[in-house]
Amino acid sequence: MTQVWTTLAVLDWTAKRFAEAGIGASRLEAQVLLSHVLNCSRTQLYMGFDKPLGEAELGAYRALIKRRLGGECVAYLVGEQELWGLPFYVDKHVLVPRPDTETLIETARGLREDRAAACRVLDLCTGSGAIAISLAKELAAATVVATEVSPEAAAIATKNAERNGVADRVTVRVGDLFVPVVGEQFDLIVANPPYIASAVIPTLAAEVRAEPVIALDGGPDGLVFYDRICAAARAHLVPGGALVVEHGFDQAEAVRARFEAAGFAKVTLVHDLGKNPRVTHGVVGA
What's the min distance (Å) between Cβ of 254 and ligand SAM? 17
Task: Check binding of 9 to ligand SAM (CB under 6 A).
Answer: no
Among 28, 78, 197, 214, binds ligand SAM (CB under 6 A): 214
- Write out the binding residues for ligand SAM, residues 70-109 only, by CB under 6 A: 94-95, 97, 101
What's the min distance (Å) between Cβ of 102 and ligand SAM? 10
**Secondary structure (3-state) at 238:** strand
Positive or negative torsion for Cα 138, 140, 142, 146: positive
What's the min distance (Å) between Cβ of 50 and ligand SAM? 39
Q: How far apart are CA 196 and CA 214, in angstroms?
A: 10
Task: Check binding of 31 to ligand SAM (CB under 6 A).
Answer: no
What's the min distance (Å) between Cβ of 41 and ligand SAM? 24
- Helices marked H in the chain — which ranges? 7-20, 26-38, 42-47, 55-69, 74-78, 101-110, 130-138, 151-163, 206-209, 213-216, 224-233, 252-261
Binding-site size, ligand SAM (CB under 6 A): 23
DSSP 8-class letter at 163: H
What's the min distance (Å) between Cβ of 127 and ligand SAM? 3
Q: In the chain, what's the furthest Cα-to-Cα distance?
A: 78
Task: Check binding of 230 to ligand SAM (CB under 6 A).
Answer: no
Chain CA centroid to CA 62, Å: 28
Among 15, 89, 107, 127, binds ligand SAM (CB under 6 A): 127
Q: How far apart are CA 83 and CA 126, in angstroms?
A: 14
- Write out the binding residues for ligand SAM, residues 45-74 only, by CB under 6 A: none
Q: How far apart are CA 240 and CA 234, in angstroms?
A: 10
- Write out the binding residues for ligand SAM, residues 171-190 only, by CB under 6 A: 176-177
- The footprint of ligand SAM (CB under 6 A) covers 94-95, 97, 101, 125-128, 130-131, 147-150, 153, 176-177, 192-194, 212, 214-215
